[in-house]
């Protein structure tokens, strides 16, 4: 790789972008697509930290330096309403009134921009930023008209992540035009992380027409774990379109169910209301103990009682003849436990992939590490989302699911599988003799919608 010659001088400011962080608490940072912010006037980063000198032998024996990030003073001529509202927590009500709330937590984001140089342009990024409310001054018009500007104070904190297997504190990075021409051109398309940063996992994305059959019939000793992100809720005007992973019946069954204002997570006859946040990667587990989301357990309001399920659990539907999930979602992985035995371990694979089998993946689908087979959509094909962000080569940084709890011993029934699930039609539902078959209810109770 060639590196740019040093600039004798650097000047100018343009192409400011903001990329909101999806989950500030995630081990691997992920960001939304950067948003352009036109109208840059000035950008002044002030390093935060301290130097401490330790003396011995009549001199400085050791110098310790603390890098606590930066405080940036950003002045913009343009203040796009939607972007600025999200930065500082303002909102517009139904009557068009712009309201500022004091009880809003400001979002974390990456701040990006470009400066010019005598030899090459420079593009830079600060990874973990929080903005304060802007300073603005209105003044009467005199002989000349002076446009108002908006001045934001932005706090940049070190972002902890693993790089080359070592825990580091990442603050910022920059790229010059000739360090990597393609990476320079793509700089504002996504947030580039240093090389050696662990990749976020691959995902299968559905926009409302993809569903699959796990081939598993569960009971009260089963546990269901899903690693997913909601991007858009289902259509609220159509009932029964919020099933994420489910098999529905009136007094039994299991379901992760989403809704813009609430959601019914069912295990047997027990229902736990829960609303999943948009654009946040959730890890949810549903079993006879209750619903655990991101490590927080919500117990069942009453003992789950009798659990009867005569049909296989589906991904993206409540029944084979029901309605497909009508929102937008990413699946990072799905695990199903039968007692203490892992019976399904589904991971996303891309069409043509050979990583798990000598038979290439027939389409974008799930591969099960337990049954060693593909699970394809029974309607529209999933969209495959590649793992990780674009690596930022050559930059020096400045700075799963757990096993079920003990005591769950009975094994649930699993449907024997061989070969691949049909790409065109759902498998015929044949209940096992050990299971008490419940008639399929195509119209769930109101608390399930």
Question: What pLDDT does 436 receive?
Answer: 31
Question: What pLDDT does 54 receive?
Answer: 87
> b/e map of 20-50 (b: 16 or more CB within 10 Å)?
bbbbbeeebbbbbebbebeebeebebeebee
Q: 342, exposed or middle or buried, with CB in 10 Å at 0-12, 13-18, 19+?
A: middle
Q: pLDDT tens-digit profile of 307-316?
A: 777 789 999 9
Confidence check: pLDDT of 420 > 60: no
Question: What are residue 85's phi and psi, to 5 degrees?
Answer: -60, -40
Q: Is-above-0.75 flag for pTM?
A: no
Closest C-alpha among 208, 166, 213, 152 to residue 365: 213
Q: pLDDT tens-digit profile of 42-89?
A: 999 998 988 888 889 888 888 888 888 899 999 999 988 888 888 887
**Mean pLDDT over each residue of the chain, to the nearest integer:** 79
Confidence check: pLDDT of 7 > 50: yes
- Tell me, letter by letter, the H, E, C secondary structure of the chain: CCCCCCCCCEEEEEEEEEEEECCCCCCCCCECCCEECCCEEEEEEEEEEEEEEEEECCEEEEEEEEEEEEEEEEEECCCCHHHHHHHHCEEECCCCCEEECCCCCCCCEEEEEEEEECCCCEEEEEEEEEECCCEECCCCCCCCCCCCCEEEEEEECCEEEEECCEEEEECEEEEECCCCHHHHHCCCCCCCEECCCCCCCCEEEECCCCCEECCECCCCCEEEEEEEEEEECCCCCCCCCCEEEEEECCCCEEEEECCCCCCEEEECCEEEECCCCECCEEEEEEECCEEEECCEEEECCCCCCCCCCCCCCEECCCCCCCCCCCCEEEEEEEEEEECCEEEEEEEEECCCCCCCCCCCCCCCEEEECCCCEEECCCCCCCEEECCCCCEECCCCCCCCCCCCCCCCCCCCCECCCCCCCCCCCCCCCCCCCCCCCCCCCCCCCHHHC
Q: pLDDT tens-digit profile of 375-385?
A: 999 999 999 98
> In the CATH scheme, what is the code of domain 10-194?
2.30.110
Confidence check: pLDDT of 352 > 50: yes
Question: What pLDDT does 401 receive?
Answer: 32
C-alpha distances (whole Å) from 300 to each of 313, 316, 408 are 21, 23, 16
Q: pLDDT tens-digit profile of 182-225?
A: 788 889 988 888 888 776 678 999 877 899 999 998 888 899 99
Confidence of residue 250 (pLDDT cuts 50, 70, 90): low
Confidence of residue 179 (pLDDT cuts 50, 70, 90): low
Confidence of residue 241 (pLDDT cuts 50, 70, 90): confident
Confidence of residue 105 (pLDDT cuts 50, 70, 90): confident
Q: How far apart are the first and last CA of the chain?
A: 56
Confidence check: pLDDT of 140 > 90: no
Determine which of 247-251, 290-294, 331-335 has the lowest per-residue pLDDT on average. Answer: 247-251
* R_g over Cα of the chain: 26
For residue 49, the cross-strand partners are: 67
Determine which of 13-27, 151-165, 201-215, 394-408 has the lowest per-residue pLDDT on average. Answer: 394-408
Closest C-alpha among 430, 441, 448, 443 to residue 249: 441
Domain ranges of the chain: 10-194, 203-448
Neighbours of 105 (CB within 10 A): 8
């Amino acid at each position: 790789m060639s590196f740019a010659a040093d600039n004798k001088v650097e000047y100018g400011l343009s192409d400011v972008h903001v990329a909101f962080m999806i989950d500030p608490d995630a081990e691997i940072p992920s960001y939304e697509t950067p948003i352009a912010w036109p109208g840059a006037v000035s950008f002044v980063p002030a390093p935060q930290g301290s130097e401490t000198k330790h003396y011995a032998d009549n001199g400085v024996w050791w110098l310790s330096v603390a890098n606590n990030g930066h405080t940036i003073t950003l002045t913009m001529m343009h203040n796009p309403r939607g972007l600025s509202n999200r930065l500082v927590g303002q909102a517009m009500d139904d009557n068009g009134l712009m309201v500022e709330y004091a009880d809003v937590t400001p979002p974390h984001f990456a701040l990006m921009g470009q400066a010019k140089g005598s030899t090459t342009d420079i593009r830079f990024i600060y990874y973990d930023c929080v903005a304060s409310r802007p300073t603005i001054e209105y003044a009467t018009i005199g002989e000349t008209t002076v446009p108002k500007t908006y001045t934001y104070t932005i706090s940049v904190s070190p972002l902890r992540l693993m790089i080359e297997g070592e825990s580091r504190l990442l603050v910022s990075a920059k790229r010059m035009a000739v360090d990597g021409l393609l990476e320079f051109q793509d700089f504002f398309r996504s947030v580039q992380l240093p090389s050696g940063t662990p990749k976020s996992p691959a995902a299968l994305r559905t926009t409302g027409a993809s569903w699959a059959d796990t081939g598993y019939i569960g009971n009260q000793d089963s546990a269901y774990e899903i690693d997913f992100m909601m991007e858009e809720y289902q259509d609220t005007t159509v009932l029964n379109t919020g099933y994420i992973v489910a098999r529905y019946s009136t007094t039994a069954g299991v379901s992760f169910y989403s809704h813009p204002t609430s959601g019914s997570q069912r295990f047997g006859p027990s229902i736990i209301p829960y609303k999943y946040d948009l654009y946040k990667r959730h890890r949810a587990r549903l079993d006879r103990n209750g619903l655990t989301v991101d490590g927080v357990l919500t117990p069942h309001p009453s003992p789950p009682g009798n659990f009867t399920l005569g049909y296989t659990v589906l991904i993206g539907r409540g029944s084979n003849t029901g309605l497909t999930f009508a929102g937008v979602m990413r699946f990072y992985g799905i695990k199903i436990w039968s007692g203490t035995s892992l019976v399904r371990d589904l991971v996303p694979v891309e069409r043509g992939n050979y990583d798990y089998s000598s038979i290439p993946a027939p389409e974008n689908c799930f591969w099960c590490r337990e049954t060693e087979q593909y699970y394809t959509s029974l309607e529209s094909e999933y969209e495959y989302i590649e793992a990780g962000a674009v690596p930022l080569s050559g930059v020096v940084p400045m700075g799963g699911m757990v096993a079920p709890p003990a005591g769950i011993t009975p094994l649930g029934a699993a449907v024997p599988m061989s070969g691949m699930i049909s790409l065109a039609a759902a498998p015929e539902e044949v209940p096992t003799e050990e299971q008490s078959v419940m008639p399929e209810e195509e119209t769930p109770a109101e608390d399930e919608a």
